[in-house]
Amino acid sequence: MHFIILKENINQVLAISGRNIANRPQLPILSNIYLKTERDSLKTVVSNLELSLVFNIPAKIEKEGEITVPGKLLSEFISSVKTNKIEFVHENNILTVQTETTKATFSTMPTNDFPPLPKIPEAKNKLNIAQITDTIQRVAFAASNDEGRPVLTGVRIIASQNKINLTATDGYRLSLENIELKNEKQEFQMIIPASSLSEITRIVSELKKDFLGFSLIEGKNQAVFTFDNGALFTRLIEGQFPKVENIIPQSGKTKVVVEKDELMQAVKTTSLFARNSANIIKIKVEKKGLRLSAATPQLGSDEDFVEAEVAGEEMEIAFNFRFLLDLLNNFPEENLIFEASGPLNPGVFKPQSASLSFLHIIMPVRIQGQ
């Protein structure tokens, strides 16, 4: 194999591909990036068995071939070279990569053990990813990282006509949002890994894409998102997603309207004293605002007050501060509505504006005396 390529064409592709290579993959071959020359382009593939990325990059092909080479190392090397024109030559299981001033060699592995990819299908749907990028960010963070319950590591997406519902939960918190797609009609339902969904939004941002092709691959339990010079394949999660609609409170006895940034600062300050006490922050709803407190024996305690508009009963409730910070870091508006019906009932958080259908629920922590 022998080809010449421009750094400006391959550098971004390798950076995107490199971050999707597992540090400790299940199979050694998955540490590598697959390279194959095809006519006037270079095809690159990486896979971590959950997500696979394919790119086609313009190149001058002198001799065709295919190999796999350590992916992260190649990505880091290419990003460090100074000249734009880069030559690749593969001989005797060694890949030589050189410029006018730099020369490096890489050990290679044959392609036989690299996971085969389905052929990239013609996109059945066109998805305006730009419309749902913010929604994905507001929902995906609530998915679980525990592989013991795979279905909770995904985001459930239900598309019907011109509406899409995204929902994620880890069993302790829940995020959901409904959005309308302008001039589009979609019909599908799937549970997609939250990590794959987040990577899709990151890629389209870096590639500056608004639209993606989208297809479900029948019989493969996969979805594929296509763009001009490549595609992202992701496995879908099988299983029954929780009936989260059953746990959403219809109304709360207490309603609080509070400024997001003021609440976030108070949570951050109070959290310093909660880190060694199971991350628990108490929130007491008073007539004129919220009183946040946390204490750790032998270390100390803290109390912060945040002014807010309060309607309904006074009460005290406790939350894991990490869940609160995750919510506040992803919250879409300046003012936040918090509703609850008691210390052991879910806390409901939503925007004050009616233009967004975002809803977040956090289960409270039982504290002594409740």
pLDDT, residue 124, reads 74
Per CATH, the homologous superfamily of domain 2-107 is DNA Polymerase III, subunit A, domain 2 (3.10.150.10)
Distance of CA 42 to the CA centre of its chain: 28
For 213-238, the pLDDT digits (tens) are: 888 887 788 999 998 889 999 999 99
Long-range contacts of 98-106 (CB under 8 A, 24+ apart): 104/77, 106/69, 106/70, 106/73, 106/74
Rounded-to-integer distance, Cα 118 and Cα 216, Å? 12
- Per domain, the residue ranges of the chain are 2-107, 125-245, 248-362
Rounded-to-integer distance, Cα 232 and Cα 223, Å? 8
8-state DSSP, 122: P
Per CATH, the homologous superfamily of domain 248-362 is DNA Polymerase III, subunit A, domain 2 (3.10.150.10)
248-362 shares the fold of 125-245: yes
pLDDT, residue 32, reads 97
Angle at 74 between CA 196 and CA 24, to 5 degrees: 50
pLDDT, residue 370, reads 57
Q: Which two tokens stand for residue 32?
A: 């590598």
As separate numbers, helices (DSSP H) first and strands (DSSP E) second, the chain gives: 6, 26
Burial 104-124 (b: 16+ CB within 10 A, else e): eebebbebeebeebeebeebe
Rounded-to-integer distance, Cα 351 and Cα 192, Å? 26
- One digit per residue, the tens of pLDDT, for the chain of length 370 reads 999 999 999 999 999 999 999 888 889 999 999 999 988 999 999 999 899 999 999 999 999 999 999 999 999 999 999 999 999 999 999 999 999 999 999 999 999 999 987 777 777 778 888 888 999 999 999 999 998 899 999 999 998 888 899 999 999 999 999 988 776 677 889 999 999 999 999 998 998 888 888 888 877 889 999 988 899 999 999 999 999 888 888 878 999 999 999 999 999 999 999 998 899 999 999 999 999 999 988 889 999 999 999 999 999 999 999 999 999 999 999 999 999 999 999 999 999 987 789 999 999 998 876 5
Per CATH, the homologous superfamily of domain 125-245 is DNA Polymerase III, subunit A, domain 2 (3.10.150.10)
Q: What is the pTM of this model?
A: 0.90
pLDDT, residue 5, reads 97
